[in-house]
Amino acid sequence: MPALLIAEFFLLAALWGASFLFMRMGAAEFGPLPTAGLRVGLAAAFLLPAFLVKGVWADFRERAGAILFVGLLNSALPFALFAFAVMHITTGLTSILNATVPLSGALVAWIWLRERPSKSRMAGLLLGFAGVCLLVLGKSGFDASGRPATDNTALTLLAMGAALLATFCYGMAASFTKRYLHGAHPLATATGSQIGASMGLALPTALLWPAQPVSTSAWTAMLAVALLCTALAYVLFFRIIARAGPSKALTVTFLVPVFALLYGAIFLAESVTIWMVGCGVVILCGTLLATGLLKLRWLDSTRYPQQ
Protein backbone atom coordinates (compact mmCIF):
# COMPACT_ATOMS: atom_id res chain seq x y z
CA MET A 1 0.00 0.00 0.00
CA PRO A 2 1.20 3.60 -0.60
CA ALA A 3 2.76 5.38 2.37
CA LEU A 4 -0.17 7.80 2.76
CA LEU A 5 -2.68 4.95 2.75
CA ILE A 6 -0.67 3.06 5.37
CA ALA A 7 -0.56 6.21 7.54
CA GLU A 8 -4.34 6.61 7.25
CA PHE A 9 -4.78 2.93 8.09
CA PHE A 10 -2.80 3.22 11.34
CA LEU A 11 -4.46 6.53 12.19
CA LEU A 12 -7.89 4.91 11.85
CA ALA A 13 -6.85 2.03 14.13
CA ALA A 14 -5.49 4.52 16.66
CA LEU A 15 -8.72 6.55 16.60
CA TRP A 16 -10.99 3.55 17.00
CA GLY A 17 -8.73 2.18 19.72
CA ALA A 18 -9.09 5.47 21.60
CA SER A 19 -12.89 5.35 21.37
CA PHE A 20 -13.07 2.87 24.25
CA LEU A 21 -10.99 5.16 26.48
CA PHE A 22 -13.13 8.20 25.66
CA MET A 23 -16.36 6.24 26.11
CA ARG A 24 -15.21 5.12 29.57
CA MET A 25 -14.45 8.73 30.55
CA GLY A 26 -17.78 9.99 29.21
CA ALA A 27 -20.02 7.16 30.44
CA ALA A 28 -18.68 7.51 33.99
CA GLU A 29 -20.54 10.83 34.27
CA PHE A 30 -23.13 10.86 31.48
CA GLY A 31 -24.24 7.24 31.68
CA PRO A 32 -24.37 4.76 28.75
CA LEU A 33 -27.36 6.06 26.78
CA PRO A 34 -26.56 9.79 26.98
CA THR A 35 -22.97 8.94 26.05
CA ALA A 36 -24.14 7.13 22.92
CA GLY A 37 -26.65 9.88 22.15
CA LEU A 38 -24.06 12.63 22.42
CA ARG A 39 -21.60 10.66 20.34
CA VAL A 40 -23.91 10.22 17.36
CA GLY A 41 -25.51 13.66 17.73
CA LEU A 42 -22.22 15.52 17.62
CA ALA A 43 -20.92 13.27 14.83
CA ALA A 44 -24.07 13.92 12.78
CA ALA A 45 -23.68 17.69 13.21
CA PHE A 46 -20.03 17.47 12.13
CA LEU A 47 -20.88 15.38 9.04
CA LEU A 48 -23.83 17.51 7.85
CA PRO A 49 -21.70 19.50 5.36
CA ALA A 50 -21.23 16.20 3.48
CA PHE A 51 -24.71 16.77 2.03
CA LEU A 52 -23.20 19.62 0.00
CA VAL A 53 -21.06 17.14 -1.93
CA LYS A 54 -22.51 16.48 -5.35
CA GLY A 55 -24.92 13.53 -5.37
CA VAL A 56 -24.85 12.88 -1.62
CA TRP A 57 -28.14 14.60 -0.72
CA ALA A 58 -29.97 13.08 -3.70
CA ASP A 59 -28.72 9.61 -2.78
CA PHE A 60 -29.74 10.05 0.85
CA ARG A 61 -33.21 11.31 -0.06
CA GLU A 62 -33.77 8.33 -2.35
CA ARG A 63 -32.79 5.78 0.34
CA ALA A 64 -33.61 7.74 3.49
CA GLY A 65 -35.65 5.05 5.25
CA ALA A 66 -33.03 2.33 4.90
CA ILE A 67 -30.15 4.67 5.76
CA LEU A 68 -31.84 6.00 8.89
CA PHE A 69 -32.65 2.44 9.99
CA VAL A 70 -29.10 1.22 9.49
CA GLY A 71 -28.03 4.03 11.83
CA LEU A 72 -29.91 2.27 14.63
CA LEU A 73 -28.17 -1.03 13.91
CA ASN A 74 -24.72 0.31 13.16
CA SER A 75 -24.41 3.17 15.66
CA ALA A 76 -27.22 3.73 18.17
CA LEU A 77 -27.48 0.21 19.62
CA PRO A 78 -23.79 -0.81 19.54
CA PHE A 79 -22.56 2.53 20.87
CA ALA A 80 -24.96 2.30 23.82
CA LEU A 81 -23.98 -1.33 24.48
CA PHE A 82 -20.26 -0.55 24.36
CA ALA A 83 -20.73 2.48 26.62
CA PHE A 84 -22.37 0.16 29.17
CA ALA A 85 -19.64 -2.47 28.72
CA VAL A 86 -16.68 -0.13 29.36
CA MET A 87 -18.23 0.91 32.68
CA HIS A 88 -17.85 -2.64 34.02
CA ILE A 89 -14.93 -4.26 32.17
CA THR A 90 -11.61 -2.91 30.98
CA THR A 91 -11.34 -1.01 27.73
CA GLY A 92 -8.76 -3.56 26.53
CA LEU A 93 -11.10 -6.49 27.08
CA THR A 94 -13.93 -4.61 25.38
CA SER A 95 -11.71 -3.94 22.36
CA ILE A 96 -10.79 -7.63 22.08
CA LEU A 97 -14.47 -8.53 22.03
CA ASN A 98 -14.97 -5.79 19.42
CA ALA A 99 -12.42 -7.58 17.22
CA THR A 100 -15.07 -10.27 16.63
CA VAL A 101 -17.03 -7.85 14.41
CA PRO A 102 -15.89 -9.51 11.15
CA LEU A 103 -16.68 -12.87 12.74
CA SER A 104 -20.23 -11.73 13.54
CA GLY A 105 -20.55 -10.28 10.04
CA ALA A 106 -19.59 -13.60 8.43
CA LEU A 107 -22.04 -15.50 10.66
CA VAL A 108 -24.95 -13.15 9.97
CA ALA A 109 -24.23 -13.22 6.22
CA TRP A 110 -24.32 -17.01 6.33
CA ILE A 111 -27.65 -17.14 8.17
CA TRP A 112 -29.40 -14.17 6.53
CA LEU A 113 -27.92 -13.84 3.06
CA ARG A 114 -27.31 -17.58 2.63
CA GLU A 115 -23.64 -16.93 1.85
CA ARG A 116 -22.43 -20.43 2.63
CA PRO A 117 -18.86 -20.24 3.92
CA SER A 118 -16.08 -22.48 2.67
CA LYS A 119 -14.72 -25.11 5.02
CA SER A 120 -11.82 -22.82 5.82
CA ARG A 121 -14.19 -20.03 6.80
CA MET A 122 -16.31 -22.47 8.78
CA ALA A 123 -13.21 -23.48 10.73
CA GLY A 124 -12.58 -19.80 11.39
CA LEU A 125 -16.09 -19.30 12.78
CA LEU A 126 -15.60 -22.24 15.13
CA LEU A 127 -12.12 -21.10 16.17
CA GLY A 128 -13.27 -17.53 16.79
CA PHE A 129 -16.24 -18.76 18.81
CA ALA A 130 -13.90 -20.95 20.87
CA GLY A 131 -11.69 -17.93 21.56
CA VAL A 132 -14.67 -15.91 22.80
CA CYS A 133 -15.77 -18.80 25.02
CA LEU A 134 -12.29 -19.08 26.53
CA LEU A 135 -12.20 -15.33 27.12
CA VAL A 136 -15.59 -15.43 28.86
CA LEU A 137 -14.63 -18.49 30.93
CA GLY A 138 -11.52 -16.67 32.09
CA LYS A 139 -13.80 -14.00 33.55
CA SER A 140 -16.57 -16.30 34.79
CA GLY A 141 -15.55 -16.43 38.43
CA PHE A 142 -16.23 -20.17 38.73
CA ASP A 143 -13.55 -22.16 40.50
CA ALA A 144 -12.70 -25.87 40.24
CA SER A 145 -15.46 -26.79 42.70
CA GLY A 146 -18.07 -25.03 40.56
CA ARG A 147 -19.02 -22.34 43.06
CA PRO A 148 -21.39 -19.72 41.57
CA ALA A 149 -20.21 -16.34 40.41
CA THR A 150 -20.34 -13.30 42.64
CA ASP A 151 -22.57 -10.33 41.91
CA ASN A 152 -19.57 -8.47 40.55
CA THR A 153 -18.72 -11.35 38.24
CA ALA A 154 -22.31 -11.54 37.02
CA LEU A 155 -22.11 -7.85 36.08
CA THR A 156 -18.80 -8.50 34.30
CA LEU A 157 -20.38 -11.28 32.26
CA LEU A 158 -23.36 -9.04 31.48
CA ALA A 159 -20.99 -6.35 30.21
CA MET A 160 -19.15 -8.88 28.04
CA GLY A 161 -22.50 -10.06 26.69
CA ALA A 162 -23.40 -6.45 25.86
CA ALA A 163 -20.14 -6.05 23.91
CA LEU A 164 -20.78 -9.25 21.96
CA LEU A 165 -24.36 -8.16 21.24
CA ALA A 166 -22.93 -4.90 19.89
CA THR A 167 -20.73 -6.84 17.45
CA PHE A 168 -23.81 -8.80 16.35
CA CYS A 169 -25.55 -5.47 15.64
CA TYR A 170 -22.59 -4.52 13.42
CA GLY A 171 -22.92 -7.84 11.61
CA MET A 172 -26.64 -7.27 11.06
CA ALA A 173 -25.94 -3.75 9.79
CA ALA A 174 -23.35 -5.04 7.32
CA SER A 175 -25.76 -7.57 5.81
CA PHE A 176 -28.61 -5.03 5.77
CA THR A 177 -26.36 -2.54 3.98
CA LYS A 178 -25.30 -5.13 1.42
CA ARG A 179 -28.89 -6.09 0.67
CA TYR A 180 -30.66 -2.71 0.75
CA LEU A 181 -27.96 -0.04 0.32
CA HIS A 182 -25.79 -1.49 -2.41
CA GLY A 183 -24.32 1.33 -4.49
CA ALA A 184 -25.27 4.08 -2.03
CA HIS A 185 -22.82 6.98 -1.74
CA PRO A 186 -20.59 6.28 1.31
CA LEU A 187 -21.00 9.85 2.62
CA ALA A 188 -24.79 9.58 2.32
CA THR A 189 -24.72 6.37 4.38
CA ALA A 190 -22.25 7.72 6.94
CA THR A 191 -24.03 11.02 7.50
CA GLY A 192 -27.58 9.69 7.25
CA SER A 193 -26.88 6.80 9.59
CA GLN A 194 -25.61 9.17 12.28
CA ILE A 195 -28.79 11.24 11.87
CA GLY A 196 -30.89 8.09 12.22
CA ALA A 197 -28.96 7.05 15.31
CA SER A 198 -29.40 10.53 16.80
CA MET A 199 -33.16 10.36 16.24
CA GLY A 200 -33.33 6.94 17.88
CA LEU A 201 -31.36 8.03 20.95
CA ALA A 202 -32.76 11.55 21.38
CA LEU A 203 -35.53 10.65 23.84
CA PRO A 204 -33.46 8.25 26.03
CA THR A 205 -30.66 10.81 26.11
CA ALA A 206 -33.03 13.56 27.27
CA LEU A 207 -34.77 11.36 29.87
CA LEU A 208 -31.53 9.99 31.34
CA TRP A 209 -29.50 13.19 31.19
CA PRO A 210 -27.39 13.45 34.37
CA ALA A 211 -28.88 15.56 37.15
CA GLN A 212 -25.46 16.66 38.41
CA PRO A 213 -23.15 19.01 36.47
CA VAL A 214 -20.72 17.16 34.20
CA SER A 215 -16.99 17.86 34.34
CA THR A 216 -15.00 19.49 31.58
CA SER A 217 -12.97 16.29 31.10
CA ALA A 218 -16.14 14.29 30.41
CA TRP A 219 -17.32 16.84 27.85
CA THR A 220 -13.87 16.83 26.23
CA ALA A 221 -13.98 13.03 26.02
CA MET A 222 -17.38 13.17 24.33
CA LEU A 223 -16.19 15.73 21.79
CA ALA A 224 -13.17 13.56 21.05
CA VAL A 225 -15.14 10.33 20.60
CA ALA A 226 -17.74 12.07 18.42
CA LEU A 227 -15.53 14.20 16.19
CA LEU A 228 -12.35 12.10 16.04
CA CYS A 229 -13.41 8.50 16.68
CA THR A 230 -16.73 8.67 14.83
CA ALA A 231 -16.99 11.46 12.24
CA LEU A 232 -13.32 11.65 11.16
CA ALA A 233 -12.91 7.89 11.51
CA TYR A 234 -15.85 7.27 9.15
CA VAL A 235 -14.30 9.54 6.54
CA LEU A 236 -10.95 7.73 6.81
CA PHE A 237 -12.65 4.33 6.68
CA PHE A 238 -14.54 5.11 3.49
CA ARG A 239 -11.40 6.61 1.93
CA ILE A 240 -9.53 3.36 2.61
CA ILE A 241 -12.40 1.31 1.18
CA ALA A 242 -12.39 3.43 -1.98
CA ARG A 243 -8.63 3.14 -2.48
CA ALA A 244 -7.79 -0.32 -1.14
CA GLY A 245 -11.07 -2.22 -1.18
CA PRO A 246 -13.28 -3.52 1.66
CA SER A 247 -11.17 -6.61 2.45
CA LYS A 248 -8.04 -4.62 3.26
CA ALA A 249 -10.04 -1.93 5.05
CA LEU A 250 -11.59 -4.64 7.22
CA THR A 251 -8.20 -5.64 8.63
CA VAL A 252 -8.06 -2.39 10.61
CA THR A 253 -10.26 -4.16 13.16
CA PHE A 254 -7.33 -6.36 14.10
CA LEU A 255 -5.11 -3.41 15.05
CA VAL A 256 -7.74 -1.67 17.20
CA PRO A 257 -7.19 -3.86 20.32
CA VAL A 258 -3.45 -3.13 20.20
CA PHE A 259 -4.06 0.60 20.56
CA ALA A 260 -6.92 0.12 23.04
CA LEU A 261 -4.80 -2.11 25.30
CA LEU A 262 -1.98 0.42 25.12
CA TYR A 263 -4.22 3.39 25.97
CA GLY A 264 -5.89 1.47 28.81
CA ALA A 265 -2.54 0.51 30.34
CA ILE A 266 -1.09 4.04 30.07
CA PHE A 267 -4.06 6.24 30.97
CA LEU A 268 -6.26 3.96 33.11
CA ALA A 269 -3.62 1.67 34.64
CA GLU A 270 -5.52 -1.36 33.34
CA SER A 271 -3.80 -4.72 33.54
CA VAL A 272 -3.18 -6.80 30.42
CA THR A 273 -3.14 -10.52 31.24
CA ILE A 274 -1.56 -13.36 29.29
CA TRP A 275 -5.00 -15.00 29.14
CA MET A 276 -6.52 -11.94 27.45
CA VAL A 277 -3.71 -11.75 24.91
CA GLY A 278 -3.86 -15.49 24.21
CA CYS A 279 -7.62 -15.45 23.69
CA GLY A 280 -7.23 -12.37 21.52
CA VAL A 281 -4.77 -14.24 19.27
CA VAL A 282 -7.22 -17.17 18.96
CA ILE A 283 -10.05 -14.77 18.06
CA LEU A 284 -7.78 -12.99 15.56
CA CYS A 285 -6.83 -16.25 13.82
CA GLY A 286 -10.48 -17.33 13.71
CA THR A 287 -11.53 -13.99 12.27
CA LEU A 288 -8.81 -14.08 9.59
CA LEU A 289 -10.10 -17.48 8.50
CA ALA A 290 -13.79 -16.55 8.75
CA THR A 291 -13.34 -13.48 6.55
CA GLY A 292 -11.25 -15.30 3.96
CA LEU A 293 -8.14 -13.19 4.57
CA LEU A 294 -6.39 -16.41 5.62
CA LYS A 295 -7.16 -19.72 3.90
CA LEU A 296 -6.50 -23.37 4.64
CA ARG A 297 -6.20 -24.63 1.09
CA TRP A 298 -5.95 -28.26 2.12
CA LEU A 299 -9.29 -27.93 3.89
CA ASP A 300 -11.02 -26.04 1.08
CA SER A 301 -9.87 -28.64 -1.44
CA THR A 302 -12.36 -31.13 0.00
CA ARG A 303 -15.99 -30.71 -0.96
CA TYR A 304 -19.10 -30.56 1.15
CA PRO A 305 -21.02 -33.85 1.07
CA GLN A 306 -23.88 -33.92 -1.41
CA GLN A 307 -27.29 -33.23 0.10
Tell how many helices (H) and how many strands (E) occur in the chain.
16, 0
Is the pLDDT at 295 greater than 70? The verdict is yes
pLDDT of residue 248: 64
> Comparing 275 with 138, which gets the higher pLDDT?
275
pLDDT at 245 > cutoff 90: no
Q: How confident is the model at residue 200 (pLDDT cuts 50, 70, 90)?
A: very high
Are 76 and 227 in contact by the 8 Å Cβ rule? The answer is: no
For range 227-250, the mean pLDDT? 77
Query: Which residues does 229 contact at the CB level (< 8 Å), separation at least 6?
Result: 15, 16, 18, 19, 22
For residue 10, CA distances in Å to 1, 4, 45, 180, 236 come to: 12, 10, 25, 30, 10
Average pLDDT over residues 9-18: 91
- Using alpha carbons, select from 193, 196, 170 the residue that is nearest to residue 109: 170
Query: CA-CA distance, 279 to 283, in Å (whole number)?
Result: 6
pTM of the model: 0.85
Query: Mean pLDDT, to the nearest integer, of 261-281?
Result: 88
Tell me which of 129 and 32 has the higher pLDDT.
Answer: 32
